[in-house]
Amino acid sequence: MSKWDGKTKGTLLGYKILLFCVRYTPVKFVYFLLRFIALYYFLFDRKSRKSVRDFYTKGLGLSPRRASRVVYLNFYRFAQTLIDRMLFQVGKGEEFSLSFEHEDFLINLRDEGKGAILISAHLGNWETAGNLLKGRITPTINVVMLDSEVEQIKEYLKDKTGGSRFRIIAIKDDLSHVIKINQALKNKEFVAIHADRYMEGAKNIVLPFLGHKARFPLGPFLIASKFRAPITFVFGVKKSNFVYHLSATFPIYAPATPEEIAQAFVRELESRVKKNPEQWFNYFPFFESDVRK
């Protein structure tokens, strides 16, 4: 996988227009508009289009024609995830319902009172599914993430919507995020972290993924191993316009090495990608063979 630059796509004007539509027009109308936005990016964002199409042809064995169709659907689904996030931020979360696979695993973790680490990926829309989860199972979810949104966009959304409904733990060079993770777990809270993108210079691990070698960030697995809290892999995918499906794996309780946790996570990620290929939202060369070209 080539390095991810950590940047959020989109302009402030674009976010203003979308937020206006979310507030004052029916959701189905907004989704209709997204078809044209997705077509624009499909036609003109050559770099992202090629990266995702290569992922589909090499990793999933799709024909070039079939891969191109799925790429367009991918762009459309990604646009929907942005709208769905805004709907929660403006108080329209009642539009959505949630189906659950192994909800009992998370309920048991909550009832055990040990806190837990939830490892996920940029597959589907974990934030929206997590919003549904937050009110259903736990009042507090901490999300470990790079604070990478464009400052103007971040401030605008915060001013107009109140910002994220999660407690954000921003990754810092001074490692202060590690202290905050430790405190959250001591408070018996859930800590969620994505584990499919790494930044240049960060520790990483190369693992077989969909028949090819790919790099994954080692940091999330080091954290999971260090704190020895229960670990589960969670994914939230969009099943239809207004239904999300959240899944959780049986928790890892015994002490495990970062490498063991990473290998188990990648196996689960492979399975989820095969079931929901159009919701793979990594727009850069993912396989090592692509990076060397």
State whether the Cα torsion 157-160-166-169 is positive or negative: positive
The ranges of the chain with pLDDT < 50 are 1-7, 149-153, 156-157, 160-163
Alpha-carbon distances of 219 from 1, 67, 85, rounded to whole Å = 16, 32, 26
What is the pLDDT at residue 198? 83
Full-model pTM: 0.87
* Cα(197)–Cα(72) distance, integer angstroms: 22
What is the pLDDT at residue 149? 45
* Cα(264)–Cα(23) distance, integer angstroms: 41
Q: Tell me if residue 153 falls in helix, strand or coil.
A: helix
pLDDT tens figures, 222-262: 999 999 899 999 999 999 999 999 999 999 997 899 999 99
Token pair, residue 246, equals 């959240």
Count of helices and strands (H, E) across the chain: 11, 9
What is the pLDDT at residue 254? 79
Question: What is the DSSP pairing of strand 141-145 with strand 116-120?
Answer: unpaired
- 26: amino acid identity, one letter: P
Alpha-carbon distances of 31 from 22, 201, 219, rounded to whole Å = 10, 39, 36
DSSP 8-state symbol, 202: S
pLDDT tens figures, 135-159: 678 878 888 877 654 444 355 445 5
What is the pLDDT at residue 120? 94
Neighbours of 191 (CB within 10 A): 26
What is the pLDDT at residue 76? 96
